[in-house]
Structures are given as C-alpha cells and as structure tokens.
C-alpha cells in the first residue's frame, strides 16, 4: 500500500461529514433552529479526525518528508497552499465553536455566524480534497523511494495508535482546568 492510500480513505469520511454539514445548513435555514448537539459532534470530528488525525499525518509526516526534497516550484506551491488551507480550517472551526457557545447563551447574531462558518467549511473542503487527491499526492510519490514510502506508511500507523490516548488525556485535562478555574 502507498502512504497516500490511508490519506485518501480519510478524505472519503471527511467528505461524508461535509455532506452532513450541508444538510445542517439546510435544516437551520428551514427551521431557524441550530442543533447544538450536532455541532458539538461536528466540531469534535473536524478537530480530532480531519485536523489532528488527517492533517496531522500530512503536516507532521508527509509534508515534513517532502520539505526535505527538492520539490518543483509547482509542488512546493501546492504544499504551501495546502498548509494555508489547513490553518484556515482551524480558524473557521474555532469561530464555529465560539458561535455555538454564544448561541447556547442566547446571542442572536450567533445563528448567522454558525451558518457562515458551516458554509465556509462546505466551500473549503471539497476543492482542498480534490487538490490533494488529484494534483498533489500522486506526483509527490515520485520524490520518495519505495523504502521512504514504506517507512512513512509505518509512521502513519504509529501516529494513529497514539491519537486516542492524546485525545482523552486532553479531555481529562480540559475538565480538570474547568474545575480548578
């Protein structure tokens, strides 16, 4: 298996969540009500799965190794764009989480902010995924030897094994901080 295989499989699940975000936008626009439980799950999914798990493997492993190579200007430019898009997604999700919290507290503007953030995610992710799948992943394999690809795939598996512990350690620490503060 090539190291891009797991990344592309993760894209399929992220695309399914993006479809659910689209449906949530329609539901909010129809009913005028926000499903804060859904938003909590969606925010956790994007932060933990799309960003920490998926983007983590891209940034901490694939992009790290590619940065050591002499990439063509085109591929170096695409990698830079992808990093910027990851940072943009993080900012949107932070705004979405804040808007959700404000909505729960009764802030009237937060309804629009939630829809705007969801719309931004729905617009950002599909072309981002297409850029990776069709214009970056396959060409970048050419920069990596078979041994480097195999080592990268192994590092991906190790990365994934550590995430569940990281997530729940952070959960406990967050709860402890709220009790202490």
Residue pair 137/11 in contact (Cβ under 8 Å)? The answer is: no
Closest to 18 measured CA to CA, from 130, 107, 149: 130
Question: For residues 86, 170, 95 and 131, what is the CA-based torsion angle, rounded to 10 degrees?
Answer: 20
Calculate the CA 16 to chain-centre distance: 13
Residue 160 CA to residue 140 CA, distance in Å, equals 22
Residue 3 has pLDDT above 70, yes or no: yes
Residue 15 has pLDDT above 80, yes or no: yes
pLDDT at 38: 95
pLDDT at 134: 95
Mean pLDDT of 121-150: 97
Give me the residue spans of the domains in the chain. Answer: 4-171
Closest to 83 measured CA to CA, from 136, 33, 120: 136
pLDDT at 71: 96
Q: Comparing 68-72, 74-78, 129-133, 172-176, which segment has the lowest mean pLDDT?
A: 172-176
Residue pair 58/6 in contact (Cβ under 8 Å)? The answer is: no
b (16+ CB within 10 A) / e for 140-153: beeebeeeebeebb
If you average pLDDT over every residue of the chain, what do you get? 94
Closest to 152 measured CA to CA, from 15, 45, 132, 143: 143
Residue 14 has pLDDT above 80, yes or no: yes
Residue 17 CA to residue 23 CA, distance in Å, equals 10
Where do we find the tokens 């009790």?
Answer: 179
Residue 22 has pLDDT above 80, yes or no: yes
pLDDT digits (tens, 9 = 90+) for 36-46: 999 999 999 99
pLDDT digits (tens, 9 = 90+) for 148-180: 999 999 999 999 888 877 878 887 887 788 766
The whole-model pTM stands at: 0.91
Residue pair 149/141 in contact (Cβ under 8 Å)? The answer is: yes
Residue 63 CA to residue 49 CA, distance in Å, equals 18
Q: Does domain 4-171 have CATH number 3.40.50.300?
A: no
Q: Comparing 105-114, 125-134, 148-157, which segment has the lowest mean pLDDT?
A: 105-114
């Amino acid at each position: 298996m090539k190291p891009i295989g797991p990344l592309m499989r993760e894209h399929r699940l992220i695309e399914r969540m993006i479809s659910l975000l689209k449906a949530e936008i329609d539901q909010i626009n129809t009913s005028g009500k926000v499903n804060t439980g859904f938003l909590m799950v969606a925010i956790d999914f994007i932060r933990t799965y799309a960003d920490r798990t998926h983007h983590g493997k891209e940034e901490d492993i694939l992009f790290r190794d590619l940065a050591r190579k002499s990439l063509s200007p085109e591929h170096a430019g695409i990698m830079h764009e992808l990093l910027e898009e990851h940072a943009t997604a993080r900012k949107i999700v932070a705004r979405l989480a804040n808007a959700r919290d404000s909505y729960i507290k009764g802030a009237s503007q937060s309804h629009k902010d939630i829809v705007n953030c969801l719309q931004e995610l729905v617009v950002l992710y599909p072309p981002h995924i297409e850029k990776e799948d069709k214009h970056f992943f396959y060409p970048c394999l050419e920069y990596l030897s078979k041994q480097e690809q195999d080592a990268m795939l192994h590092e991906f598996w190790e990365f994934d094994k550590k995430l569940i512990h990281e997530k729940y350690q952070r959960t406990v620490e967050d709860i402890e901080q709220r009790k202490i503060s």
